[in-house]
Structure 1
Amino acid sequence: MADGVDTAVDELGDVAERRNELAARVRTHAGTIARELAVFEGGDYGQQTFETDDGSWTLKYEAGDVQYLRYDPNSGSAVYVVSSKQPPDPEDLERAMADYEAFVVAYNEYARSAAGLLEDVPDEFPAVESTAELVAERDRIVDRIRDVGDAMASELYRFEGEYGTYATTVSGTRWELKWDGDIAAYLRVGGSDGVYLLSQYSPPAATDVRRFAGDVVAFVEAFNDHVDDLEADLSHVSFDDHT
């Protein structure tokens, strides 16, 4: 009785080689579709599904290259024709490739349908109004506020010290001036989350300038009263009383 040990073994290497060659060609061909989709969709990555009579094909791409190409037949298991993992089973690949041409046809129809997508989109637009004059007026007013703030900072530096803050309430709202040397570091209205009329960064919005500039006078008057009170207190000190 034969034990089968001497029976010839058929080699599958040719089948595997053919499978690998075919999968590589599909990757290259589908990569062209992936690049077209990436350009059309305006992103580096995405995915698109195309329907055929026998199933659907999902192409996922990133940086213009195929991440995977999956075939979902109407009956049976899905096949990853292209993937970053192992190549498909030869029989599964053969089954998917029977529908591959239909997938390409579906993509081509999709591309043709998008050809006239922008035909009725207008490419002429109304002129844009300039804000140059408004910005110039905003900057002029802020420069005036800066001059006042720096003058206050200079006085505060002279009699209070190198840096600090002066705060008061104007029309029910907190105003705070921070000085650093004889320069106003900021003038803030409304507490920690308030509006910076002066800052070391960007200028305030024109709407904020309109809203608060009218109260700068009251803020300066409150500061002047503060200075008068300090001078009055200091005038009561006499070295003669302690000698």
Structure 2
Amino acid sequence: MTTHADLGLDLDVCDTDAVADRRDELVAAVRDHAGTIAYQLAKLQGGDYGRQELSTPGGTWTVKHEAGELEFLLFSPKSGSDVYVISTQQPPDPADLATALDDYANFVAAWNEWVGSLSGVLDGVSAEFPEPDSTDGIVAERDRVLDRVRETCSVMAGEIYRYEGDNYGTFTARVDGDRWELKWDEGTVSYLRVGGSGGLYILSQYEAPSAADVREYADSFRGFVEAYNEFVAELESDLAAVEL
């Protein structure tokens, strides 16, 4: 049987366990230390996710957190490849880790300097603010008009439903250049829209229009009702002409 010695391969292979163990030890220490920075960053930014870049003599560090937990710590040296000192993927190459850790103290100093620059930034900022005006009166007036519009449209929808006999349908009319559309669903109002498919919903199952929009289209709604009345009058005229 051919052996390593026969092939001239009677060579010792170095064990990497010691290097890997030392790397993992250093990574764990950095994770614990930088985790404090990530936690402080999360408190400052106030969100579930966040990151901060800090420049040092050796390059740029990026710390990113998720819900206050350190997600990654990236070192981008001024020359050479990026090093993920901490990440959710594989651990860094030992040589790259050594390069990054040579600058790690500068990263911490840059963090402290950045936090220090924020100290006192809110000094003298008053927390006394004017009382905001209530919108209750405006909302009440808007709802008063919309309630009347809905009552009127309910009558129209019921009458058209009785005439058409279909469970669903629309009545449309053009008023002052705008297309108005009333849709009914088994005799009840589904929506009232002005301006076509991309227009404004005066009545709908969703949010109410603004008071300004209600004011803008209130007079035009009168024209829409008049168009409906004309439509009904024409129907009555047509029916009157039928002889049996």
Q: Same fold (TM over 0.5)?
A: yes
In the alignment, which of 44, 60, 64 is matched to residue 61 of structure 1?
A: 64
Mark the CA change 1:199 to 1:59 in structure 2 (over 3 Å): closer, same or farther.
closer
Mean Cα deviation higher: 202-211 or 134-143? 202-211
Mark the CA change 1:154 to 1:92 in structure 2 (over 3 Å): closer, same or farther.
closer
Mean Cα deviation higher: 8-17 or 189-198? 8-17
3-state DSSP class of the match of 2:59?
strand
Unaligned runs of 5+ in 2: none
Matched residues in 2 for 1:155 and 1:76: separation? 78
**Corresponding residue number in structure 1 for 2:110:** 106
Q: Is the 8 A contact 2:74 2:84 kept in 1?
A: yes
**Corresponding residue number in structure 2 for 1:129:** 133
Matched residues in 1 for 2:180 and 2:220: separation? 10
1:47 aligned onto 2:52: yes
3-state DSSP class of the match of 2:202?
strand
Matched residues in 2 for 1:123 and 1:31: separation? 33
Mean Cα deviation higher: 167-176 or 123-132? 167-176
3-state DSSP class of the match of 1:184?
strand
Q: Is the 8 A contact 1:38 1:61 kept in 2?
A: no
Mark the CA change 1:93 to 1:141 in structure 2 (over 3 Å): closer, same or farther.
closer
Matched residues in 2 for 1:222 and 1:79: separation? 72
Mark the CA change 1:118 to 1:156 in structure 2 (over 3 Å): closer, same or farther.
same
Mean Cα deviation higher: 125-134 or 186-195? 186-195
3-state DSSP class of the match of 1:167?
strand
1:119 aligned onto 2:123: yes
Q: Is the 8 A contact 1:20 1:87 kept in 2?
A: no
Residue 202 of structure 1 aligns with an amino acid whose one-letter code is E
Residue 29 of structure 1 and its aligned partner are, at CA, apart by: 1.1
Residue 140 of structure 1 and its aligned partner are, at CA, apart by: 0.7
Residue 114 of structure 1 aligns with an amino acid whose one-letter code is L
Residue 184 of structure 1 and its aligned partner are, at CA, apart by: 2.3
Residue 7 of structure 1 and its aligned partner are, at CA, apart by: 9.0
In the alignment, which of 231, 234, 244 is matched to residue 229 of structure 1?
A: 234
Mark the CA change 1:227 to 1:38 in structure 2 (over 3 Å): closer, same or farther.
same
**Corresponding residue number in structure 1 for 2:170:** 165
Residue 198 of structure 1 aligns with an amino acid whose one-letter code is L
3-state DSSP class of the match of 1:119?
coil
1:147 aligned onto 2:140: no
Mark the CA change 1:184 to 1:81 in structure 2 (over 3 Å): closer, same or farther.
closer
In the alignment, which of 165, 177, 185 is matched to residue 182 of structure 2?
A: 177
Matched residues in 1 for 2:74 and 2:40: separation? 15
Q: Is the 8 A contact 2:191 2:201 kept in 1?
A: yes
Residue 30 of structure 1 aligns with an amino acid whose one-letter code is A
Which whole-Å deviations, capped at 9, do the CAs of 1:29-70 have from their partners, x for residues lacking one?
122122222322334132322314xx2351332312141342
Residue 11 of structure 1 and its aligned partner are, at CA, apart by: 5.7
3-state DSSP class of the match of 1:137?
helix
Matched residues in 2 for 1:179 and 1:9: separation? 84
1:214 aligned onto 2:223: no
Residue 186 of structure 1 and its aligned partner are, at CA, apart by: 1.9
Unaligned runs of 5+ in 1: none
Mark the CA change 1:5 to 1:220 in structure 2 (over 3 Å): closer, same or farther.
closer
Mark the CA change 1:149 to 1:58 in structure 2 (over 3 Å): closer, same or farther.
same
Q: Is the 8 A contact 1:154 1:183 kept in 2?
A: yes
Residue 110 of structure 1 and its aligned partner are, at CA, apart by: 2.1
Task: Output the aligned Cα RMSD.
Answer: 2.9
